Structure 1
Amino acid sequence: MSGGDVTPSRCSVTGWPGVLVTLDGPGGVGKTTVAELVARELKARDVAVHRTTEPSRTPLGELIRHGTDDFRGMALACLVAADRHHHLEHEILPALWSGRVVLCDRYVASSLVLQGMDGVRADTIWHLHDGIPAPDLAVLLHADAAVLSTRLDRRGRHSRFERQADSSRIEAARYAEAATELGERGWPLLEVACAENAPEAVASTVASHVLPIYEERSGKCPA
């Protein structure tokens, strides 16, 4: 189910005692469902969990969430990056310093894909994200484009990106490219196929990789 081995880190480079787990993937792949199930499984093991999402639930995040028809290209890329910097400072990092596992629905991989679909170069996206820390585990969820398209048609296409012609095929291909780029930058990746596996099985796979990091981090990093 997973693509490649993930070696748990002992302490994050910044020294926080929590664990940052990000979940990215094409529209319709089931990120929100998987995040909910992972949180449930971790909490059942007495792990403190903080769930969050990007764009954030701040006024800036809501502007982005409902403004993909109004903002495009560099304008949208700058808004998304600004929201991520603010989100880290005011929500994610405090939760990590409190020792929680943070499950973040979307992170830098989504910017590489979506802003890339808008014509923004990858090096520009990385420049806008200067200072953004790598997660302790970057989960990339994959599914066949036909499955993704069917799911989007069933639940509705919420954004300009999802309404774009052939969006599922384009997103699936770009997430594969993003996985390669993140891996080359040394990000700890876990790639999971979702179409042929039940959400509960996907969540168990993710949780099984998070728990060793959490257990080692909580025992070796200062609170």
Structure 2
Amino acid sequence: MTHHQGLFVAIDGPAGTGKTTLTHALAGRLTRGGYAVHPTTQPSRTRLGQIARHGTDSYRGYELACLVAADRYHQLRTEIQPHRAAGRIVLCDRYVASSYVLQSMDDVPPAIIHTLNAAADRPDLTIILTADPAVAAARVRRRGAHSRFHTDITSSRTEATLYRDAATYLKTQGQAVLTLDTTHTSTDKLVEVITRKLTPLARLPRPEQATA
């Protein structure tokens, strides 16, 4: 197996842009290329994470923002940091960008969101997926909404705007951000683009050298 440094990659974006599908496809591509990969998700699969994930009807505003942040810090310490330190590529489905979006939709001021997440590890790369809000809303309708944040075309438009703002903010903080439109681009093409972006970060082989 080719040795490479551990990386932390966050994959974020509005509901219906294909975050989970892309995370799984990218993990498969990298694994077939001979790399140690650890895919995960936020909120985490721990008891605390499940409270945050499934408690959006019970918890709102500041209380939900604190729950999500607490789960994030716990997951960083117990899961993400150890895997990254072991040389694995950690792919996280949702991360801090989602807090700037969803907690803003829940009327939490951006300054509070920033304070709650200021000590969270910075990813080596944050990928923000975008899509035409009408397309994203249709995808959510087909699969079913996962929370009260995702309701209709209005929430899809709001998410799209807030994710653009979040991407801009993260860039002003010196973070590496890659924005990709999934409206008409295939998952395979997106994986190829991301793999090329990761090449200089983790010393990966060129995409055409990896096993398809």
Normalised by the length of structure 2, the TM-score is: 0.92
Mean Cα displacement is larger for which, 158-167 or 121-130? Answer: 158-167
Match of 1:8 in 2: none
Aligned ranges for residues 1-223 of structure 1 at < 5 Å?
Answer: 17-163=5-151, 166-215=154-203
Counterpart of 1:39 in structure 2: which amino acid?
Answer: A
**What is the CA deviation profile of residues 148-195 of structure 1, one whole-angstrom value per residue up to 9, with x for unaligned ones?**
010011111110101267110100111001011001001101110101
Of the two structures, which has the highest relative contact order with CA contacts closer than 8 Å and spacing of 6 or more?
Answer: 1
Q: Distance in 2 between matches of 1:40 and 1:47?
A: 10
**What is the CA deviation profile of residues 118-171 of structure 1, one whole-angstrom value per residue up to 9, with x for unaligned ones?**
111111111111321210000000001000010011111110101267110100
State the Cα distance separating 1:211 from its structure 2 match. Answer: 2.6
Q: Which runs of 4+ in 1 moved over 2 A?
A: none
Q: How many residues align?
A: 201
Counterpart of 1:122 in structure 2: which amino acid?
Answer: P
Paired-residue identity, %: 46
Mean Cα displacement is larger for which, 173-182 or 203-212? Answer: 203-212
Q: 1:208 to 1:165 in 2, by over 3 A?
A: closer
RMSD: 1.4
Q: Which runs of 5+ in 2 are unaligned?
A: 205-212
Counterpart of 1:40 in structure 2: which amino acid?
Answer: G
Q: Are 2:134 and 2:153, in contact at CA under 8 Å, matched by a contact in 1?
A: no
Q: Distance in 1 between matches of 2:5 and 2:173?
A: 23
**What is the CA deviation profile of residues 31-57 of structure 1, one whole-angstrom value per residue up to 9, with x for unaligned ones?**
000011111111121111000000000
Mean Cα displacement is larger for which, 159-168 or 60-69? Answer: 159-168
